[in-house]
Amino acid sequence: MAQIIDGKALAEKFRAQIKADIDRLKTKGIQPGLAFVMVGKHPPSQIYVANKQKACAAVGIDNFLDALPADTSEQELLAHIDKLNRNPKIHGILVQLPIPPHINTKKVICQIDPKKDVDGLHPENLGKFFLNLPGTRPPTAQGILHLIETTGINIKGKDACMVGRSAIVGRPTAMLLAKNHATVTLCHRFTENLPEKTKVADILVVAIGHPRYIQGDWIKKGAVVIDVGITRLPDASISGDVDFAAAKKRASAISPVPGGVGPMTIAMLLKNTVDACETIERIS
């Protein structure tokens, strides 16, 4: 039976270190601040942002929520971000996605000052990531890597399969695994014979948003499985993208949903905020 990777406990350990770093900054008179921007009412986003705000408060990051109406124009949102860019109390800006379709998401991300881009989604940060230059890395990919590392698996030379190619999770995670010397297969909706790819993976990461899509017998015996999916089912229960009950009989380690990737992503967001704060305060 697989080891269950306790993302909640691992994140808690990580947060203790972050809190110590923040306490040290505070003795120098520096107070990290993170602004959340939400446009319209998207119930899952409201829960995610509330969880992120709670985590900020617990480690001592000042956090601000700007909940803008659904009919906010693109120009208004860009102007709002510009104001946050110039606010010295704000070291991180997180525009919770998705935003309403009348606003161009790429334009919004490009408007965020790259130094305050705690999601690591600005082209400058993604370019630096690609080139191995210092910059902000997307929190979910960092969190996933941390979970994999804690299992003790030596990533170097292993076959890794990333299912899902989103800009927030799939593509950055595939790149991070490749940087750590795994041989990476990046799968998506047009992949032919997906089980053939997943069955040979020593490390399997799934981020597609289809509850229980990955079957137990699609998993290599002894694989490390990271489930990024989180879907609320009609019966109000929460499910990941992997059939957890079947998968845990084959994997050597598996992350649960909830309590796996989610808490680790938030911990990495806090770390990115503290790093951004230190960088901005150093140069101001």
Contacts with ligand GUN, residue ranges (CB under 6 A): 94-97, 119, 140, 168
Strands ordered across the beta sheet of 203-206: 3-4, 253-254, 224-227, 203-206, 159-163, 183-187
Q: Which amino acid is at 194?
A: L
Enclosing H/E stretch for 187: strand 183-187
Please, which residue, 122 or 197, has the CB nearer to ligand GUN?
122
Number of Cβ atoms within 10 Å of the Cβ of 185? 17
Q: How far is the CB of 97 from ligand GUN (least distance, A)?
A: 4
Dihedral angle over CA of 158, 244, 42, 54, nearest 10: -80
Please, which residue, 186 or 230, has the CB nearer to ligand GUN?
230
Quote the CA–CA distance of 38 and 94 in Å, as a whole number: 9
What does the chain come to in residues?
284
Active site positions, annotated: 52, 96, 119
Please, which residue, 2 or 34, has the CB nearer to ligand GUN?
34
Indicate the residue whose CB is closest to ligand GUN: 97
Q: Which amino acid is at 156?
A: K
Please, which residue, 140 or 239, has the CB nearer to ligand GUN?
140
